[in-house]
């Protein structure tokens, strides 16, 4: 039988609900984190990866769920923030059994958490989860196309806000050429951007070079490459305290979640006049696409994704007015929208 243990609220006062889930038959060990549902039900991906222990899995789920709250609020969506993680190797046997056991825990939440794809899961996985869970996203399409469109819109908005120009002639370094990173490279090349790329899979780098004329550098060199924009699209936490002090790029805008190893490093980047667009602003295109899928309405999807550029420009201007870093101001703007909803009497999923 599946079992779950909910964390006591005093232990996590900023979260509405944390579930530690298990299932003896499948061997499931997972965590579901619901950060805030003031604006609507929480929506966030199911991440599958091997963590060293349950505490590490919970920490990742919580960090990601909180970012989803801010991402939804800043994107103007009537959704809250949630995330879930399955502590397992995605390539291990029994994958479907793990997903189905995890799905039963999600279904027990009565719609407070809507799952979607994330690292280690696929559209087919969400289709399977949808056989158990009443409402899922990413079961019809991969939202990564829209993530890429949104990141490019954020880069375009940042450059327009700070330099009053388009992207042609800029040098952009892309770290990670998975589905999103490859598409960002193609989109930027179409706008006349000079690309410098790196990936641990050299085959991917060569393919991007063949299509776009990008310069390829070793993965160890990409973070300090001679570029205007650093666009991390692989693992999170790549901008650590050391890199924040030595970075040569003038912009940090990427698709990876939690680009900064510590949110406080945004202040370091500000003191060095490096423009940083938080990941929960720049990579919101995928979430916007997931929300459209849940609504069954794509009529304004491309417009909403393109509006990430406007959100970026507004954020940078607000950060200048307030004299603060962009992470602090983005969180403030999101919390202001959530507070306004609470004041208007909206207190949970509708």
**Is the alpha carbon torsion for 44, 46, 51, 57 positive or negative?**
positive
Residue with tokens 């995605």, as numbered in its chain? 90
245 is catalytic: no
Q: Other C-beta atoms within 10 Å of 224: how many?
A: 15
Q: Where are the beta strands (DSSP E) in 176-282?
A: 194-198, 215-216, 229-232, 251-252, 275-276
CA distance 117 to 293: 12
CA distance 89 to 51: 9
Tokens at 336, concatenated:
């202001």
CA distance 281 to 293: 20
Q: Other C-beta atoms within 10 Å of 52: how many?
A: 8
Q: 316-333 burial string, b = 16+ CB within 10 Å, else e?
A: beebeeeebbbbbbbbeb
Q: For the packed helices 179-190 and 144-163, what is the interaxial angle rounded to 10 degrees?
A: 40
Q: Where are the beta strands (DSSP E) in the chain?
A: 2-6, 17-23, 28-36, 42-49, 80-87, 113-116, 171-175, 194-198, 215-216, 229-232, 251-252, 275-276
Question: Which residue in the list 71, 83, 245, 346 is annotated as catalytic?
Answer: 83
CA distance 217 to 196: 7
Tokens at 76, concatenated:
């103007």
Q: Would you name the residues annotated as active-site residues?
A: 83
């Amino acid at each position: 039988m599946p079992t779950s243990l909910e964390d006591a609220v005093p232990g996590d006062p900023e979260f509405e609900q944390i579930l530690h889930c298990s299932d003896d038959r499948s061997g499931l060990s997972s965590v579901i984190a619901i950060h805030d549902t003031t604006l609507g039900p929480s929506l966030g991906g199911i991440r599958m990866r091997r963590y060293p222990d349950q505490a590490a899995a919970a920490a990742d789920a919580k960090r990601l769920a909180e970012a989803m709250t801010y991402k939804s609020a800043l994107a103007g969506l009537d959704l809250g923030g949630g995330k879930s993680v399955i502590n397992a190797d995605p390539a291990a046997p029994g994958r479907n059994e793990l997903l189905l056991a995890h799905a039963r825990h999600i279904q027990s939440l009565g719609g407070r958490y809507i799952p979607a794809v994330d690292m280690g899961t696929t559209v087919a996985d969400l289709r399977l989860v949808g056989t158990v869970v009443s409402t899922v996203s990413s079961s019809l399409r991969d939202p990564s196309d829209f993530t890429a469109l949104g990141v490019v819109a954020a880069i375009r908005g940042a450059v327009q806000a700070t330099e009053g120009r388009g992207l042609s002639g800029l040098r952009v370094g892309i770290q990670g050429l998975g589905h999103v990173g490859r598409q960002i490279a193609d989109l930027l090349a179409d706008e006349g951007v000079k690309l410098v790329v790196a990936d641990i899979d050299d085959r991917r780098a060569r393919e991007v070079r063949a299509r776009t004329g990008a310069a390829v550098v070793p993965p160890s060199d990409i973070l300090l490459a001679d570029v205007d924009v650093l666009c991390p699209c692989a693992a999170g936490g790549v901008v650590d305290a050391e890199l924040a002090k030595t970075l040569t790029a003038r912009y940090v805008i990427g698709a990876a979640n939690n680009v900064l190893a510590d949110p406080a490093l945004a202040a370091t980047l500000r003191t060095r006049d490096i423009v940083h667009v938080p990941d929960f602003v720049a990579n919101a295109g995928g979430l916007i696409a997931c929300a459209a899928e849940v609504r069954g309405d794509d009529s304004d999807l491309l417009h909403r994704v393109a509006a990430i550029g406007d959100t970026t420009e507004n954020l940078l201007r607000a950060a200048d007015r307030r004299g603060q870093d962009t992470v602090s101001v983005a969180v403030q703007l999101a919390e202001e929208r959530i507070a306004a909803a609470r004041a208007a009497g909206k207190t949970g999923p509708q």
